[in-house]
């Protein structure tokens, strides 16, 4: 059983979901956020890791391996949290909120897309800070897309941002403790 408060207690979450979800009634907005969300499924991160390896050799392999390890931990963590909290998605909790694309799983908390995007961005930028101009806005758009598309509450995205930040920073710290990794 969930230890999170009932979703009815999250009035700000509901209001933000309702307001941003309506943006997708415009075809161009829907296309942008659906595309960003799809890229955030993993496609963009796999391409980035492959590019690191191809363009930077062994250093790229190290960065990609650290991203892959971080991603594995993120996957296990967010799946466990979803099973534990079992928070309904916005569109399942409020008929006024529409799911503009199909969700990847049943529950809302936390946003796996956001958790991965934040943790991957932190790890990638530790190795390639010059990519901040691309990765920071992309990560912000992935996070926003989850709310706009009606798939997550804003608090799911905020929590995933914090968890992803801790995870990305934690894997960087851990790698620095192991000779030859950091």
Dig out the tokens for 39 from the structure.
Answer: 């890229």
Provide the 3-class DSSP secondary structure of residue 36.
Answer: helix
- Per-residue pLDDT tens digits for 125-180: 999 999 999 999 999 999 999 999 999 999 999 999 999 999 999 999 998 888 76
- pLDDT single digits (tens) 32-77: 999 999 999 999 999 999 999 999 999 999 999 999 999 999 999 9
Determine the Cα–Cα distance for residues 33 and 31; give it in Å rounded to an integer: 6
- Give 107's Cβ-side CA count (13 Å radius): 14
């Amino acid at each position: 059983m969930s230890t999170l408060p009932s979703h009815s207690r999250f009035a700000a979450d509901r209001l933000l979901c309702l307001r941003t979800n309506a943006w997708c009634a415009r075809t161009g907005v829907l296309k942008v956020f659906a595309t960003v969300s799809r890229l955030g499924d993993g496609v963009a991160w796999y391409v980035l890791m492959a590019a690191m390896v191809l363009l930077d050799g062994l250093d790229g392999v190290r960065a990609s391996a650290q991203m892959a390890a971080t991603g594995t931990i993120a996957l296990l963590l967010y799946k466990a949290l979803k099973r534990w909290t079992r928070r309904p998605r916005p569109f399942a909790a409020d008929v006024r909120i529409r799911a503009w694309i199909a969700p990847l799983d049943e529950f809302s908390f936390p946003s796996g897309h956001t958790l991965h995007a934040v943790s991957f961005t932190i790890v990638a930028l530790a190795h390639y800070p010059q990519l901040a101009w691309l990765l920071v806005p992309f990560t912000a758009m992935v996070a926003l897309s989850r709310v706009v598309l009606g798939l997550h509450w804003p608090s799911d995205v905020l929590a995933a941002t914090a968890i992803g930040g801790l995870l990305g920073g934690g894997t960087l710290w851990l790698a620095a403790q192991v000779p030859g990794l950091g």
